[in-house]
Amino acid sequence: MYKQFIITIFSTISLSSFAQPNGSGNGVGQKDLQLNAITTALPFMSITPDSRAGAMGEAGTALDGTSSSIYWNTSSLIFAKERTEIGLSYVPWLRQLTNDIHLSYLSGYHQISDRHVFGGAIRYFSLGEITYTTEDAQVIREDKPSEFELTGAYGFRLSERLAIGLNGKFAYSDLTGGITQGGIISKPAIAGASDLSLTYYNEDARYGKKNGAYTFAVTLNNIGNKVSYSEVNTRDFIPMNLKIGNALKIELDNYNSLTWSTDFQRLLVPTPPIIVNNEIKAGRTSDVGVIAGLMQSFYDAPGTPVKDESGNIVTNPDGTYQIQKNSRLKEELAEINIATGFEYWYNNLLAIRTGLFYESKAKGGRQFMNLGFGLKYNNLNVDMSYLLAIGNRNSPLANTLRFTFRIVLGNKKGE
């Protein structure tokens, strides 16, 4: 098991280094990459709902199965300690900006046998009260736009240590209430999507003289159709993403255990090209289909243009921009977000958690630290997390709280 431990540490350090270029060697570094954040429709589908992973830097892909795993990794539910569980999470969202936006998440699962598990979830996102106005600031009406998502989940055991999972989703986003502006009639955005997940779980791992467990997981999330809020607008991608997670759990003694979880996450959505006067100067068009966009997302970063001594961008004979050496590769690597966190349990009653989340400043700059705790009493679990923004106290994500309540309705046979 030392081998798995070393591989996990090595991959964490290596990918962290690649995703955060330091400017050494040829080409550009992190500070030189241009701001080129990737945006999607229906971003509420990728908001972390639960407090456990939320307190561990949002590194939840390889954590052991709970009712919240329907969001993270359905295949992990095959190895869940409890047979049946229901959870409810509540997240007051963007409290730095307003006090009436919130996310609610209800989820649950049931293991019908050692090989099959079924589950479902409901996600509801309220954007609070919004006043619609005309271009000359005349009030049209008040509205409370909202979005929701329904998920059905199924997990299947392939072998003693390997399982797969599949989610089917329906998402509905009504942000305008059918308002007409400039002769354009708006409409709700509707999406159908799927999640695919794979988990390897070894509960007989050993770290030196200590017993423990090791989990490796891969998920593809929100693979679905593009959406639009009107008949004339361009259709946008939903937040399709790839997550790769590792989790190492060490039983320190009969009363204490420690889990370290690390995720590498990236959007599977095309990177915006550099466009001047409706002409692409670097990168690739984002007006492609879902599968083409998913594949293109791995190699379409436009990179950083070369500038002359006067600060003017240098162009090629065909009118496109010259791009700095290695900047395309480093921009692709900068799209990898890194999440890592720790969880300490005492006597299976009290949990203390902390974690870090890193996103390149060129891709949005979400960088924060999380703290949280968990309490377990009989069949009731209560979790809470708190988010501390790093480097930007005015971040709209600062001071985010998450609350989760989980209740076990059925234990495994013999427990």
Tell me the DSSP string of 45-91: GGS---HHHHHTTT--TTSPP-TTHHHH-GGGGGG-SEEEEEEEEEE
- How far apart CA 353 and CA 337 sit, in angstroms, is 20
User: Across residues 119-125, what is the average pLDDT?
Assistant: 97
Q: Which residues lie below 8 Å from residue 117, measured CB to CB, with a gap of 6+? A: 74, 77, 78, 80, 109, 110, 111, 153, 154, 155, 156
Give the residue from 109, 16, 44, 34 showing the smallest Cα distance to 70. 109
Residue 260: per-residue pLDDT:
97
* Contact in structure between 316 and 322 (CB atoms under 8 Å): yes
Q: Per residue in 6-48, pLDDT tens? A: 334 334 433 444 444 444 444 455 566 788 899 999 999 999 9
Q: Which residues lie below 8 Å from residue 1, measured CB to CB, with a gap of 6+? A: 205, 206, 207, 212, 214
Residue 11: per-residue pLDDT:
41
Q: Per residue in 216-230, pLDDT tens? A: 999 999 999 999 988
The predicted model scores a pTM of: 0.88
Residue 415: per-residue pLDDT:
53
How many structural domains is the chain composed of? 1
* Contact in structure between 56 and 374 (CB atoms under 8 Å): no
The DSSP secondary-structure symbol of 227 reads: B
Share the mean pLDDT of the chain: 88
Q: Which residues lie below 8 Å from residue 311, measured CB to CB, with a gap of 6+? A: none
Q: Which residues lie below 8 Å from residue 314, measured CB to CB, with a gap of 6+? A: 305, 306, 307, 308, 321, 322
Residue 176: per-residue pLDDT:
81
Amino acid at 202: N
Residue in this structure with the two tokens 């998402």, named with its chain if needed:
171
> pLDDT exceeding 70 applies to what percent of the chain?
90
Q: Per residue in 95-105, pLDDT tens? A: 888 888 999 99
The DSSP secondary-structure symbol of 209 reads: T
Confidence of residue 290 (pLDDT cuts 50, 70, 90): very high
Phi-psi region of 160 (alpha: psi -120 to 50; beta: other; left: phi over 0): alpha
Confidence of residue 410 (pLDDT cuts 50, 70, 90): confident
Residue 25: per-residue pLDDT:
40
Confidence of residue 136 (pLDDT cuts 50, 70, 90): confident
**pLDDT score of 254 more than 80:** yes
Confidence of residue 193 (pLDDT cuts 50, 70, 90): very high
Residue 21: per-residue pLDDT:
43
**pLDDT score of 236 more than 90:** yes
Residue 31: per-residue pLDDT:
60
Strand, helix or coil at 158? coil
Residue 3: per-residue pLDDT:
44
Q: Label the pairing between strands 241-251 and 210-224.
A: antiparallel
Q: What is the CATH number of the domain that holds 201?
A: 2.40.160.40
Residue 14: per-residue pLDDT:
38
Residue 15: per-residue pLDDT:
43
> Domain range holding 18?
2-411
Write 343-349 long-range contacts (CB < 8 A, 24+): 343/52, 343/55, 343/56, 343/258, 343/259, 343/261, 344/256, 344/257, 344/258, 344/259, 345/256, 345/257, 345/258, 345/259, 346/255, 346/256, 347/255, 347/256, 348/376, 349/375, 349/376, 349/377
* Contact in structure between 50 and 353 (CB atoms under 8 Å): no
> pLDDT exceeding 90 applies to what percent of the chain?
72
Confidence of residue 197 (pLDDT cuts 50, 70, 90): very high
* Contact in structure between 402 and 91 (CB atoms under 8 Å): yes
Confidence of residue 310 (pLDDT cuts 50, 70, 90): confident
User: Across residues 147-172, what is the average pLDDT?
Assistant: 97
Residue 302 is encoded by which pair of tokens?
A: 């436009």
Strand, helix or coil at 26? coil
Q: Per residue in 369-399, pLDDT tens? A: 999 999 999 899 999 999 998 877 677 888 8
**pLDDT score of 404 more than 50:** yes
* Contact in structure between 199 and 162 (CB atoms under 8 Å): yes
SS (H, E, C) 296-320: HCCCCCCCCECECCCCCECECCCCC
Q: Label the pairing between strands 139-143 and 130-133.
A: antiparallel
